[in-house]
Amino acid sequence: MKKFALTKQYDYYVGYEQELLKKYNGAYLIITDDLMVFSFKDMEEAYIYGLKNFGAGNFLLQKCSPDELNVVHSVNCFL
């Protein structure tokens, strides 16, 4: 079975969820391959930033909310 490409980023989110919730609750987060975190108010803004700066498939887009832990948004597209 193929391993999810963004496992490192998702594991980081899960491992630091409480700290991230304190700082970013309700925001959409971009988590990069080198585990940099960027915060945005809406998902579209976060997605466009991620595409422009890191390319499709190279970042995790995760809503920072205790209700969203099991929801992972993985987008692969070609522009």
The answer as to whether 5 is a domain residue is no
The answer as to whether 58 is a domain residue is yes
Overall domain count for the chain: 1
Contacts of 15 (CB under 8 A, 6+ apart): none
When comparing pLDDT for 3 and 64, which is higher?
A: 64
Provide the residue range defining the domain that includes 32.
Answer: 28-65
The answer as to whether 73 is a domain residue is no
The answer as to whether 60 is a domain residue is yes
Residue 75, sorted as left (phi over 0), alpha (psi -120 to 50) or beta, turns out to be beta
pLDDT digits (tens, 9 = 90+) for 15-33: 999 999 999 999 999 999 9
Top-ranked range on mean pLDDT: pick from 1-5, 6-10, 46-50, 66-70: 46-50
Answer yes or no: are the C-beta atoms of 19 and 29 closer than 8 Å: no
The answer as to whether 49 is a domain residue is yes
The answer as to whether 44 is a domain residue is yes
